[in-house]
Structure 1
Amino acid sequence: MLTWLCLTLGVAFSSAVVPFVSIELFVLGLAAKEPGIPFLLLGLVVAVGQVAGKLVHYYVGRGSIRLPEFLHRRLHAREPKPLTPRRAAWQLRTKRVRAWVESVRARCQEHPRWMVGTYTVSSVVGLPPYMATVVLAGLVRMRLSTFIGAGLVGRFIRFSLLAASPALCAGWLF
């Protein structure tokens, strides 16, 4: 059981840092394969791994960790490409998205409790996307203790329910 929990912690951490790994599928599979692992313990391990991994994104949003140069946008590239109608539409869309993100960030700084509530709901439900709220929490400089506490509680609820669901479904079906 300890081996599975250590593996789960590693997968949870890696899925938090690199979003291409699905911790939800892993938890469902593990809970179905190893029903002897208590679902609350599994939820706790995943919550700790997820929040620890998301600290990287939080600190990037806060500006404490600098991204590698190849991930930065180059403002003064060679010559600008000719503006086709398709590129013009794309630039307009991205400009609107950037303006929307900036307005949300400003509102979050004005109303810190709103940001805590949004972050907590996102950590349980996943809407708005958890990764986005993590970065936004860093941008608005949410207190680290609040970030960790709300994230642990929300992720614990989410993944405990998810780990318990294979047993619930098996109980209904058989």
Structure 2
Amino acid sequence: MIGLLSTTFGVSVASALLPLISVELFAVGLVLKEPDIPWWVLALVIATGQIGGKLLHYYAARGNIRLPAFMRREKKEKPETKGRWKAWLDQFRENCRTRPVWAGTILLISAAASLPPFAAVAIIAGWAKVPVSTFLITGFIGRFARFGALAAAPAAMAAWL
């Protein structure tokens, strides 16, 4: 079981970093193949791996991690323009600063439901300088709820039918 949980942790970190990998499909397959793994253990491992991976996005957006040259945007000498997207991001940053409960709620909902996608919210939260404690706590609770429900679903369906 330790080997399966280690693999699960690795897949969850990889899926947090690379959106082409689906930890949801992996988790459902694992639960169907190994129904003896407690749902909460699986949810705990996946949530920890997911937050670990998303934390790299968060710190990169915050500027604490230096990205490789091919991933960085070159700064161009042009006048600052204020489009709708930039205005929305500036307003989001201000809301995160002045309304921490609002920022935590957005993070929690995104982590649990992935609407808006948690990958994007993790990056924006780093850019908006949301406190790391808020990001970790709300993100972990939301991810645990999401993957706990996913891991418990096959057993719940089997019991219901």
Q: With the length of structure 1 as denominator, give the TM-score of the two structures.
A: 0.83
Does the CA-based 8 Å contact 2:93-2:129 persist in structure 1? no
Deviations 1:14-73, CA, capped at 9 Å, x for gaps: 111111111111111111111010001000000110011111001011110122221223
Runs of 5+ in structure 2 lacking a partner? 78-82
Structure 2 counterpart of 1:156, from 139, 144, 151: 144
Aligned partner letter, 2:4: W
Q: Which runs of 4+ in 1 moved over 4 A?
A: none
Q: Distance in 2 between matches of 1:23 and 1:3?
A: 16
Kindly indicate whether residue 102 of structure 2 is the aligned counterpart of residue 126 of structure 1: no
Distance in 2 between residues matched to 1:74 and 1:152, nearest whole Å: 33
Question: Secondary structure of 2:37's match?
Answer: coil
Cα-to-partner distance string for 1:78-123 (whole Å, 9 max, x where unaligned): xxxxxxxxxxxxxxxxx43333223222222222221111101111
Deviation at 1:76, TM superposition (A): 4.6
Matched residue type, 2:43: G
**2:156 paired residue number:** 168
How far does residue 145 in structure 1 lie from its aligned partner after superposition?
2.2
Aligned equivalent of 2:55:
55
CA RMSD of aligned residues (A): 1.9
Q: Which residue of 2 aligns with 1:4?
A: 4
Mind listing any 5+ residue stretches in structure 1 that lack a counterpart?
A: 78-94
TM-score by length of 2: 0.89
Total equivalences in the alignment: 157
Between 1:130-139 and 1:30-39, the stretch displaced more is: 130-139
Cα distance between partner residues in 2 of 1:136 and 1:109: 13
